Amino acid sequence: EDQVTQSPEALRLQEGESSSLNCSYTVSGLRGLFWYRQDPGKGPEFLFTLYSAGEEKEKERLKATLTKKESFLHITAPKPEDSATYLCAVHQQGAQKLVFGQGTRLTINP
């Protein structure tokens, strides 16, 4: 069965302390991998799409990378406003839907 697993479930960092979130997937034929940010009580906000191994995308303090089995969301020198749940989702070739991971809840302490 296709699976998307995110780790860790929760991560607490100090402001300025860089780290990475992981999204590992087991699908045959990746069509695209998506990262979203979700604030409490709100809908997910689109961040990045990655299509092939080796691809990287950056936005402010966030950088997403992709290998054949996993994606990393690197956060550099985070600020408290980066606190949120980060979701990844994969789109398999031939499928009509995205499969979402359970998310990583990130807290940045000032």
Closest CA relative to residue 98, chosen from 14, 22, 42, 32: 32
Shortest CB 26 distance to another protein, Å: 15
C-alpha distances out from residue 37 to 2, 31, 94, Å: 22, 20, 26
Specify which residues 56 forms β-bridges with: 65
d(CA 28, CA 40): 32
Q: Which of residues 8-67 bind another protein (CB under 8 A)?
A: 31-32, 34, 36, 41-46, 49, 51
Whose Cβ is closer to another protein: residue 2's or residue 15's?
2
Separation of first and last alpha carbons in the chain: 41
The answer to whether 106 contacts another protein (rule: CB under 8 A) is: no
The answer to whether 86 contacts another protein (rule: CB under 8 A) is: no
Region of 20-28, 54-62, 64-72, 87-95 interacting with another protein (CB under 8 A): 87-95
Helix%, strand%, coil% for the chain, nearest 5: 5, 60, 35
Binding test (CB under 8 A) with another protein, winner from 21, 66, 89, 108: 89
Q: Interface with another protein by CB under 8 A: which residues?
A: 4, 31-32, 34, 36, 41-46, 49, 51, 87, 89, 91, 95-103
